[in-house]
Amino acid sequence: MDEQPVVEEVRDLGEHVALLAALDECRKNITFWKDRESKVKDQITAIMGEATVGRVDGKDVLTYRWENRFRTSDFRTAYPDTYRTFVHEVTTKEFDVEWLKQLRPDLYDEYRVRSLRSSWEG
DSSP bridge partners of 54: 62
| Residue that wins the pLDDT comparison between 58 and 115 | 58
Confidence of residue 53 (pLDDT cuts 50, 70, 90): very high
Q: Is the pLDDT of residue 8 over 90?
A: no
The SS3 call for residue 99 is helix
The pTM for the full model equals 0.58
**Across-strand partners of 60?**
55
Alpha-carbon distance of 62 to 15, in angstroms, equals: 47
Position 105 scores a pLDDT of: 92
Concatenating the DSSP letter of every residue in 13-76 gives -GGGHHHHHHHHHHHHHHHHHHHHHHHHHHHHHHHHTT-SEEEETTEEEEE----S---HHHHH
Banded model confidence at residue 86, pLDDT cuts 50, 70, 90: very high
Enumerate the domain spans of the chain: 14-111
**C-alpha to C-alpha distance for 108 and 95, rounded to whole angstroms:** 12
Mean per-residue pLDDT, 94-116: 91
Q: Give the SS3 label for residue 88.
A: coil
Please tell me the predicted confidence (pLDDT) of residue 67. 87
Percent of the chain with pLDDT over 90: 80
Four-residue CA torsion sign, 32, 33, 37, 38:
negative
